[in-house]
Every structure is written in structure tokens, then in C-alpha cells.
Structure 1
């Protein structure tokens, strides 16, 4: 590092003089840094638009699918007895279900055993056989009741049988993890450990199937209390009662997905409209680090809010995307039967004063879904080309195209190397800043070299002056 002599001979405040002289050079660097900051802010705002589009795309994906509009709901006259759900292919209608019997697993319970039991002597072996298969458990010297329980449970995947021990009742239990008549517990024990020590009966026990009568038909058996029949997913909860179920279109679910689409659409067009009309405050430029030193945090936030405003005002890229999205949402589906536009089912678009957002008349929408659900489905999902294409299909394609255009302009956060137009511009500006900062160091070092040379010259002159003065003084005394 170069040694800097600061005003020792001249008495000048060298640091302040050089700092003042460097202001012009630093101003050039700060101007380019401001340019870089503005580009970064613009990129952030573009990417935020893409975040809104991404959410809209996910919502539109649901509305592109016919299954969304074919969703069914099942109502039960007594949910305490059974509940049910339906697939989109389930036939609509009302049905009676008599729950004859609930499915149960197999179990065994011992008589009280000694809780302090510790096995001694020769090893004892017994075999458990369940629905999944068989496994042999070896009881070794020092094993306790809890040890035996743990060894049985280690084989649960192989047998389908679990064990527990209730220390309060001093009882040992075996039960199957599954239900139905295939769930069984079969024990083999030549050592007598199960019968004599754990007090467990060696007989084979099996579970029972669930049984229902559907619409008064024959008895139907199922291994579990949860099963699917006629594309209806049942969950049996109580036996001995008859329940009426009704399968109907899941209008509430469809309305919820359409409302989600409207919400995401409004968020996207609202954000873009806001940015297009945002006022630009040109007197509020990005702050330099030096400027921020003398400001409060809140003042910095308020300043930067103004500085960020209007960066995308009347931006041609966003304006074109905004116009295309709105046109697709408000256009007619030429091949539609009854409903050919969103407005026909209660979804209307506002004017420019309300940013072109959509508004839902929920009652009108539900009426359309009840009167002609297939026509509503076709309005959104029709895959024909051109003007026959469904609203969700064409909007989905438009959103993907819009996202790609913004990505070309601003890149994405996940991109390792930003090859977008703004990314390349930021790279160019970054190199310019590096060059200017290198020059800044060179100029500052030059100033210090010049001042150092001056100080050294002054020191030499002062030394010579002192020597001459001494010579004159000594001559006058002779």
C-alpha cells in the first residue's frame, strides 16, 4: 500500500481537498449505479407480473379440464351412519343403503398375567399366522412381557398382527391391523409359552366383512368399512340402519374454482393496469449509499417508493399482454350451444376505469350450472381451434405466451444466467460500473501521488530554508 503524506508540510487538509475533487468522478459512477438500480427494479416488477400470471395459469388449468365440471357430491341422510364421495363418472341419482354389518378385525385377549414376568431357562418359540403370512418369535432368557410385545410388533408387516400389553389390567392383546374375514390370527406354540405364560387361547380367530344392501338388492360384502361401489366411495360408521344418499353435480366446488379463476385474473390484470398507469416521479432517483447515511429508514422507504413508481408506465410489452388477455376473456365462443360468453353465465368485465376486472353474479352462475352444466363446461373446456375454443383453453394458452414474453424481457429468479434483454443490459451496466470504479481508484491515487509529491517538495524546500537561515545566522555572529 502506498504511503500517503497528508498536509504535514503545507498544512492543507489533503483528505478533504481530494474528496471534493473526486465528487465529479463519483457522480459519474453513482449515475450509472442509479441506472442499474432502475433496471433491477423494472426487472422485479416484470417478474411480479409473471408471478401473478403463474397463479392465473394454475387456476385456468383446473377450468380446462372437463372433470372439474363433472365433479359430483354425495349427500347422506345420516352422516353418523355413513358418508360418501363420488367420482366425476358416477351416475347421478338417489339411492338407499342399508348397513347390515361393519367390518371388524380379529383379536385375542389373555386372562391376567404376571406383569413382572421375566423369562428364564430354555428359549421358547411360537408362530403367528395372519393375512400377510407367518413369522416365528423366539422368547429368550431375560425377556419381559414388553420385550415379547416388541418382538411380535417387529413382525407386523410379515403377519398383519399387532400386540399390546395393558399394565393396568395385566392383560396381553393380539389384534389384526386389517379388517374382514381374511384378517385372522392363527397361533402355533409347541413350547406352551402362549398358553401357560401369556394365558392366550391358541384357537384361530377371524374378522368379519362389512355388509350392505344397495337399493334393496342382495347383500354385498367388503373387507373394509371404506370401499368403492358403483363409483361411490363409502365410509361406514354405524350398522343396523338404512340411509338415503343423493349423487348430484358439485356446484359449490365448480363455483369455487371459477371464483378462484376470477380472483387470480383480477390480480393479474389489476397489477398490470396499475403499473401501466402509475405516475413517474423523475425527481426521485435511486439513492446512493452516501445519501442513505443521513436518512431515516422510513424516509428511505418513502423515497424509494416514489423512485420505483411509474417505471413501467405505458410499457408496450405489458400493454399488449393486458389487451390480449382482456380480449380473450371477453370474446365469444362461436361453437357454444347455449352459453357463448362469460357474461351469459354471470361473469362480466368492467371498463378501463376498473382495470378491466371480472365480476361474478353468483346466483346467475349457479343457475347456469344447474340448468345446463354441460353447456357451461363447453364454454370453458372446448378444445376446438379458433373462435370455437373454450375460454379457459384460449386464456391458458395466452397466459403461457404472456409469461414467455415477460421471461424474454426480464428472465426468471431461478435462471442461473439471465439471458433476457434486461439481464444483458444489467450485465453491460455492471461492466461499465466496474470500469468506472477502476478509474475512480486510479484518479484518487493520482491525486494522492501529486499531493504527496508536493508535500515532499515543500518539506525539502523548508529544510533548505532552515539550512540557509542557519548559515546566515552563524555568519552574522562571526
Structure 2
């Protein structure tokens, strides 16, 4: 808004400066409100930053449930031409040895007709006569049609679009083309018939074969492709080369995925340290720096303490240090991955109990209560802090948002009052100048009249 100056031409006063300074005094309460608003918004942002860290703790902790800790499996192969993977369904310490007899191949052949052009319309007496029908070994049929006046390129495109066959144009010499067709999948056989019920001029050249393994116990296993699913339950084994005669068998073994579990524990420790660092940054002031946004906030200090206690307290009579978790002097958590991996290999039951806890059990009438592991304790703590409905940090942030809204409303109302006050002051000083100008004009007139009364040169 443009404010017109009313600097006094009569009074000589710097009216603009006077009004500006008076408005600064009038605006002091609003300035305090603005400062309070900035602090409130900063606190809301701080609570949300901490909340994000605790949400990360919850995610990392939930990834270490009892089932996922025990379920992490890996499969290894002694051959570079055999790859293997395992799911949670696989049984640790299971293995299988085998030689690869052959790989799976796809049936393929040629269409009998030789074509002189790939773009000209197909001959009306062409073989095959479209539409053609592809019948697979299981009785499934697929019909392939081509548009009127279709070319060889159109026919090949239609065959490939069917999803059951792959077709390729082969140029034997200039102006001489044949069509090669093959099954889209290995290990599956098919036949082709055309609209006239004939074999559509298809000449098989390569038979479909299944991949085959011979196990060391003499059994054989086959697959229509080169992947053997559940040869060992929960595993996927893929072969890429047949073994030569006399080759040593390949062994695929399943074991606990120590690396994956270790990575999950490290992710939990990193999330916890991230939360501790953010809390410290918001609650502890640094010498020479501005006061921390949430200096000494009791909620955050308590959350930090509870987080550390979850690590330092014994779980089922065992210390977290036995699996490589310890508290450092600087208030952070350290994790020795090598200690953890060694303990997981030697005593997975203890590791599972410490990290993920155990459920309640009853054996021969004797009940054993459930034990909440470190991950469970941290997950519960994080949920208490960051739950979208009941989380303490969420509630604190929303409370600051509400206060900020109230403060902004008061600031906006103050703007209206200040503008009204500025208008009033401007009018008052304008009135003053007008009055002074009137008085000045009257004074000048009186002086003029008095001067004329006492003018010795005035003619009588």
C-alpha cells in the first residue's frame, strides 16, 4: 500500500519519520507475535524431523521380526554356469548335487514356400493359407490371422504377435526368402495347420527338448526351460551350460543369509543413531551458537533415554554386547558386524532371541512367557512416538501447528489495526498542517492590515 508523505511545509516537522517511528512503537506487540510464530513453526518442524527418524526406526525394527530373522536364506552354487537363489521356504543346510545332462531347446522349423518379396501381397494360393492354427502338446490352440493383401512382413508380424511362435525372415539370396518359425518357449512342442487343414507347409528342423539334471543319487529332474523351481523346496536353480562327460557334479547348498540379517541389524542401528543425533541437535545448544530449537525438551530427552535403554538392557538374561551392540561414550550405538555374524553362525537361537524376541510357549504343561527382543522394543517405542493417530511427536507437532494458526490470525488482525492507526495519524498530522496553514494565513492577513493602519506613507 502506498502511503503519501505529509511532511509539514508549515510546521517544518518531518511528519513521515514521526509517523514511521510511532508505528514502530505501535507494532511492537505484533513483532513479538511474529517472533513467537517463527519459534512455534520451527518447533513444529523439529518435532516432525524427529518423528521421521522414529518412523525409520519402526520400519527397520519391523524388518527384524522373529520370522524374517529366521527366514533369511541364501543358496550357493559350486559352478559358475549354475545360479541359485532361495526363499524363506527353503530349509537351511539342505543341499543337492547333480550334473547337467542337457539344456532345454525350442522346437523350430521352416515354412516350405520360398518368397520373392517381403513387401508384396502374399499369393492367393500361398501355403500356408491363413488363418493358421497353432496347436500345442497340451491341446491349447491359437489362431493367427492376417489382413487382406498382407505382405510377408505382415504375416511374420502377426505370427510374432501371437505369443506362441517366433518367426524370422531368412534371405537365402537376393529375391529368395524363407520363413523360420519356432516355439516362443523351450521344451514345448507344437503343430501348425492352415485354413485348408494341411500342415501349412511347416517342416520341423529342431525338436523341443527339456533340460535334464542327473542327481548323484541316480534320480533325474527335467524342466521345460533351463530353470528348476523347487528342486529343493524354496529354491530356484538356473543352468546355462550342459556338462561334459566326466565333469564333477555341481552342488547347490542352502544356508542362513547372514549378510542379509546383518544388513538389517545395521540399518536398525543407523536409524537409531540418526534419531539420537537429531534429538541432540534440537535439544542441546552449542557454545557460541543460537539456543537449540527444543532446548531441554523433556519428551525428546525421555525418548532418547528410552532408545538407549532398549539397547543397554539385558534381553532374556543376555547382553546386547554378545551380538556386537554396545553404547558408546558419545551417546551413540556401535555395531560390530563381524561379532554379530560370528554369533549368528554359532548360536542363531540366542541371536534371534536378543534381536527379535520369542513368543510364549507351553511344553509339557510348563509355560514360558514371551520375550520382547531389541527390535520389538524399538518398534514399540517408535510406534508410541510416531503413530499417525496417537504418536506423541505427531501430537506435539499438531499442537504447534494449532498455536501457529492462532498466532497468524492475531498477526493478521494486528495488520488491520496498524493500518487504521497509520491512517489516523496521517489524518491528524494533515489536520495539524491544515490548521497551522490557516493560522499562518490569518496571521499574514492581520499583519498586512496592521501594517496598513500604521503606514506613514498611506494617503489620507
1:398 equivalent to 2:398? Answer no
Q: Distance in 1 between matches of 2:15 and 2:400?
A: 42
1:367 equivalent to 2:367? Answer no
Q: Please name the residue that 1:452 is paired with.
A: 430
Q: Please name the residue that 2:417 is paired with.
A: 439
Q: Please name the residue that 1:173 is paired with.
A: 180
Q: Distance in 2 between matches of 1:223 and 1:319?
A: 62
Q: Please name the residue that 1:291 is paired with.
A: none
For 1:301-336, what per-residue CA distance to the aligned partner results, in whole angstroms no more than 9, with x for missing partners? xxxxx44x41222110101111112112221222x6
- The partner residue of 1:239 within 221, 229, 242 is 242
For 1:9-46, what per-residue CA distance to the aligned partner results, in whole angstroms no more than 9, with x for missing partners? 43544332211221112332222111111111111111
* Cα offset, 1:424, TM superposition: 2.0
TM-score (norm 2): 0.82
1:127 equivalent to 2:132? Answer yes
The structure-2 alpha-carbon separation of the partners of 1:25 and 1:206, relative to structure 1 and needing over 3 Å to count, comes to farther
Unaligned ranges ≥5, structure 2: 361-368
Q: Distance in 2 between matches of 1:5 and 1:261?
A: 65
Unaligned ranges ≥5, structure 1: 196-200, 282-305, 411-419
Q: Distance in 1 between matches of 2:280 and 2:216?
A: 57
Q: Are the counterparts in 2 of residues 122 and 140 from structure 1 also a CA contact under 8 Å?
A: no
TM-score (norm 1): 0.79
1:317 equivalent to 2:299? Answer yes
Partner SS state of residue 30, structure 2 = helix
The structure-2 alpha-carbon separation of the partners of 1:130 and 1:393, relative to structure 1 and needing over 3 Å to count, comes to farther
* Cα offset, 1:253, TM superposition: 1.6
The structure-2 alpha-carbon separation of the partners of 1:12 and 1:146, relative to structure 1 and needing over 3 Å to count, comes to farther
Most deviating of 364-373 and 374-383: 374-383
Q: Distance in 1 between matches of 2:220 and 2:370?
A: 53
- The partner residue of 1:163 within 160, 163, 167 is 167
Superposition CA RMSD, Å: 3.2
The structure-2 alpha-carbon separation of the partners of 1:171 and 1:468, relative to structure 1 and needing over 3 Å to count, comes to farther
The structure-2 alpha-carbon separation of the partners of 1:64 and 1:191, relative to structure 1 and needing over 3 Å to count, comes to closer
The structure-2 alpha-carbon separation of the partners of 1:27 and 1:2, relative to structure 1 and needing over 3 Å to count, comes to closer
Q: Are the counterparts in 2 of residues 179 and 224 from structure 1 also a CA contact under 8 Å?
A: yes
Q: Please name the residue that 2:278 is paired with.
A: 271
* Cα offset, 1:461, TM superposition: 4.2
Q: Please name the residue that 2:144 is paired with.
A: 136
* Cα offset, 1:152, TM superposition: 2.6
Q: Please name the residue that 1:333 is paired with.
A: 315
Q: Please name the residue that 2:194 is paired with.
A: 188
Q: Distance in 1 between matches of 2:335 and 2:194?
A: 69
Q: Please name the residue that 1:413 is paired with.
A: none
Q: Please name the residue that 2:153 is paired with.
A: 146
Partner SS state of residue 217, structure 1 = coil
Which protein is richer in helix relative to its size?
1
Q: Please name the residue that 2:355 is paired with.
A: 380
Q: Are the counterparts in 1 of residues 144 and 158 from structure 2 also a CA contact under 8 Å?
A: no
* Cα offset, 1:168, TM superposition: 9.2
Q: Please name the residue that 1:41 is paired with.
A: 42
- The partner residue of 1:253 within 253, 260, 271 is 260
* Cα offset, 1:444, TM superposition: 0.8
Q: Distance in 2 between matches of 1:88 and 1:121?
A: 58
Structure of larger gyration radius: 2
Q: Please name the residue that 2:364 is paired with.
A: none
Q: Are the counterparts in 1 of residues 107 and 204 from structure 2 also a CA contact under 8 Å?
A: no
Q: Please name the residue that 2:365 is paired with.
A: none
Partner SS state of residue 163, structure 1 = strand
Q: How does 1:399-478 map to 2 (within 5 A)?
A: 399-403=382-386, 404-410=391-397, 420-462=398-440, 464=442
The structure-2 alpha-carbon separation of the partners of 1:257 and 1:463, relative to structure 1 and needing over 3 Å to count, comes to same
For 1:254-287, what per-residue CA distance to the aligned partner results, in whole angstroms no more than 9, with x for missing partners? 2111112111111112222343322487xxxxxx
* Cα offset, 1:465, TM superposition: 5.4
Q: Please name the residue that 1:84 is paired with.
A: 84
Q: Distance in 2 between matches of 1:358 and 1:387?
A: 26
Q: Distance in 2 between matches of 1:74 and 1:367?
A: 19
Q: Are the counterparts in 2 of residues 384 and 390 from structure 1 also a CA contact under 8 Å?
A: no
Q: Are the counterparts in 2 of residues 125 and 189 from structure 1 also a CA contact under 8 Å?
A: yes
